[in-house]
Structure 1
């Protein structure tokens, strides 16, 4: 059944039950559009919303909006082809599954569609309502599963931040989005004393400490900044297009949120973070890996300086000798 709008019905486990499948049809033949409309409208027990566009250009623009669950794409669009559109969609990173429709079964086109990234290849003469409904439903479910796998592959399970792979993928992308001469700031942070926390209070307490540091960093930085846990007690943050002297403000926010966390902290230990900054101007030769290594070195300099300060503070004050009295 086709709908213009439908309320979302959500089950107890948070999964959409009756949300219509949002279908984009890119088809230059009005008769084929009407046939598709009729097939979807007559499928019992299934809900669809259908948007139709009739050209290569408008179809590509609609895909860029990422407002659909599935796309049905005609193999021939005037002077352009569906294979060309598939290639263009892949180039901008389209994640909407695309089902290619063709009037004639052809193995070469089938294989070319697969290589171009099509989720399915359907021959129009073989399409019935149930066949189309199943193809759309399966495509949406596969896309949702792939998206979850993709999310998990770049996410740190313990903190919900990006992991090492996610940091390098998203960080590299973020750098490419800005012009040369943009100020970029990278901070490397380390949770002090994690081994002691694990040894004295157990690994569950250590995990809570790591999660707390992730929360502190998330509150101290902007939503657009790339925050990641590289592993163990090590964190890194990439901030692009930052004002001069932002390091001072960021350091203040970290210490402020860390102090608030320690006030609310129930375990019998206090959280402490060491961190170091590096700042560079974006250029074609700027390496994210080199930035991380440089910030890591700065962080260890800061950690060593704090350790020396503590040793000086704990050193006994020499008593004056009797001859000096």
Structure 2
């Protein structure tokens, strides 16, 4: 164990190169869609105030890893939750541990990367809004600052000061006065909240809007009308086929014959994306172990590359 790399929050975050992360997450999403990744549905132990989830995964070419993560409401910030834990990367050939990494930045940034891929693949042109001001929203805005620095980004949340602080992470960022007004004006909506009930309504969404919903560990982030009218995309079939905490609250009980499309299939050119300029599209993320593998692979490769110089 003496050769195992151990990184705290700051060191893990510093090694998450955004461009390499986008490439690795795309590779992982395609592997999931093609059935090449090995990752059982997330399991969780339920505590009185939260849960502890376990997420092992293997992706050919990226590696073998497991995440232990707790998801608990943050009493200092009502309506938001904290994700804390570790990701352990293993050698896929002999099973020896290679690295122990902080799970919070890995979770936030790999989730932001998958949401960004969904928007790049499915969204039409127009304004962008990020709903939320917590850790996931900050990671989303920071990643957009790298991959789409010239696209104006509006941040909407219940706390005006937090919205301004989050918006400042993007060179073209600004804070919105209210969530509804910002959503109504946007072509792409990133929902990054710890919601227990819907924070975005179908009536607010413009024709042709795209929604990347990555929050809602404790309840639905989108209303039933949005799900009813949208073309649905996910990371993996279990988002609709399994119950929370592995599946999405919004996708439970879909009508017989209603299908979801895997984002990786769209990225690989093996499934259609947007049907028409007026179609409503929703990417509903539940998180997936293959994405943790991708992020851990990037962190380990970045650090070992620096050490070898």
TM-score range, shorter chain: under 0.3
Max Rg structure: 1
More strand by share: 2
TM-score, normalised relative to structure 1 = 0.25
Task: For CA contacts below 8 A with separation 6 or more, give which structure has more relative contact order.
Answer: 2
More helix by share: 1
TM-score, normalised relative to structure 2 = 0.26
